[in-house]
Amino acid sequence: MTVEILSRELHNFIDEGRIWDDIARAENPAPGLVRDVLEKGLEKKGLSPHEAAVLLKNTDADLDEEIFETARTIKKGIYGNRLVLFAPLYVTNECGNQCAYCGFNAKNEDLERRTLTMDELRKEVEALEDIGHKRLLLVYGEHPKLGAEWMADTVRTVYDVTSEKSGEIRRVNINCAPLDVEGFRTLGEVGIGTYQCFQESYHQKTYAHVHHAGRKTNFLWRLHALHRAQEAGIDDVAQGVLFGLFDTTYEVLGLLYHALQLEKDFGVGPHTISFPRIEPALGSELAFNPPHPTTDHQFKKIVAVLRIAVPYTGLILTTRETAELRKELLEVGVSQLSAGSRTYPGAYQDPNYDRPDVQQFCVGDSRSLDEVIHSIVTEHGYVPSWCTACYRLGRTGEHFMELAKQGFIQKFCLPNGLLTFKEYLEDYASERTRDAGMALLNQEVDSFPDPKFKGSLVRRLDRIQHGERDLYY
């Protein structure tokens, strides 16, 4: 397969005609058809892009509720009430591209450009470790002077920052511009978790319209980024679309065709999918006035339909959405959440961090990690998790998906999540979060279904109470 892939031309596996045909056949779907698709969804084997379009094109409010209910059932069945937390860390805002929606675009002359030194990066990581983060997403602008070797150095630096008081970062994921296979290999060698690259738009004309200059103008090079990462041995890859640029149904189908192509070529689809909505960004007119704004209802439907269509793929949300909408999005599908996010280099040590002039985009929710956790626990009854067990035990890519399909997530991810939650409550939580968190944790342990496993879990929680750290199954 490798030889075949290496010689593969950069063909466009996103067939626009086929997507429009899928959508046209899904217009005004009969209620019986919508229910047939939902019934198939409940088998947890996923949906075809056309079936996803049938759900997205339904306009009947009662049937929309049935779509949400199906997504809730699938979410609960596979993921339970566990929610993985992470923080983005911006390493550089230097960028040679001109993406019309982004505050870091090269044309934005008002933006103070900054690339963290390794020392500054270390301080950012310390600040994040001090409040309890264990999983980071490193984010980079695309500048020719900052290549794969330098990025690999930044990852090494992050993993190196450990202290007895505040712990360590246990998984570093990356969101950077597409590299060649050699570049990805360099990143793979320093032990990155997921490589994340958002296609922004799967509609080639729209893509060309919003990417004015720089390397990112090459649609096909970006479209094949996750393939090259896989070829280089990074087997947890993550897709995304920037909603607001083009027709939402088209973009969801683009995501699904991309996932199918990865599955066909590598035996495994994306580890996660992200679906940012365009946020206001200084230096970008488009970001204040997106051509295809996504309503809250459409957004909730996108999340629900993705949950049904790719049941074992993690869905990532940022904390930008309002608390009420976030609660609904968690219920219908989201499994990972960023918290306490700051979106410019050096932000975590900046005492005046609320600065729209240097942010990539405006973060609507500036609550601290502890506040977000308090709300997750008390308002939603979710168990926050910083688990990194699978990545560290080599349960990645196809191997992870196989286990997930056998019910592994419910069996192991919840206890692993509880172990990391206990660490958080012991080491970082405010008093009110600790009280609320301990009540939830005890309730989860009491209702743990497997008595043998429960005994082992209780013993491990006790070991954490007595000072041991980083225990997992």
Note the maximum CA span of the chain. 62
**Whole-angstrom Cα distance, residue 18 to residue 287?**
29
- DSSP for 260-304? HHHHHHHS---SEEE-PBP---TT-HHHHS-SSPPPHHHHHHHHH
290 part of the interface to ligand SAM, by CB under 6 A: no
- 317, 85 contact by CB (below 8 A): no
Distances, alpha carbon 152 to alpha carbons 93, 109, 325, 343, in Å: 17, 28, 37, 21
* CB 205 to ligand SAM: min, Å: 18
Q: Give the residue with the Cβ less far from ligand SF4, 29 or 178.
A: 178
Q: Give the residue with the Cβ less far from ligand SAM, 171 or 216.
A: 216
**Whole-angstrom Cα distance, residue 132 to residue 340?**
11
- Contact stretch for ligand SAM (CB under 6 A) within 19-27, 175-183, 186-194, 245-253: 175-183
CB proximity list for 473: less than 8 A, separation 6 or greater: 389, 412, 415, 416
Distances, alpha carbon 423 to alpha carbons 83, 216, 363, 410, 468, in Å: 15, 41, 28, 20, 9
* CB 1 to ligand SF4: min, Å: 31
Task: Choose from ligand SF4, ligand SAM, none: what does 105 bind? Cβ within 5-8 Å by kind.
Answer: ligand SF4
Task: Choose from ligand SAM, ligand SF4, none: what does 276 bind? Cβ within 5-8 Å by kind.
Answer: ligand SAM
Q: Give the residue with the Cβ less far from ligand SF4, 215 or 327.
A: 215
* CB 287 to ligand SAM: min, Å: 4
* CB 276 to ligand SAM: min, Å: 4
β 171-175/314-317 pair status: unpaired
Residue 189-228 contact track with ligand SAM, rule CB under 6 A, x = bound:
--------xx-x----------------------------
* CB 141 to ligand SAM: min, Å: 5
Q: Give the residue with the Cβ less far from ligand SF4, 74 or 363.
A: 363
Residues that bind ligand SF4 (CB under 6 A): 95, 97, 99, 102, 104-105, 141-142, 177, 216
The H or E element containing residue 209 is helix 204-210
- 264, 218 contact by CB (below 8 A): no
239 part of the interface to ligand SAM, by CB under 6 A: no
Residues that bind ligand SAM (CB under 6 A): 101-102, 139-142, 175-177, 197-198, 200, 242, 276, 278-279, 281, 287, 360-361
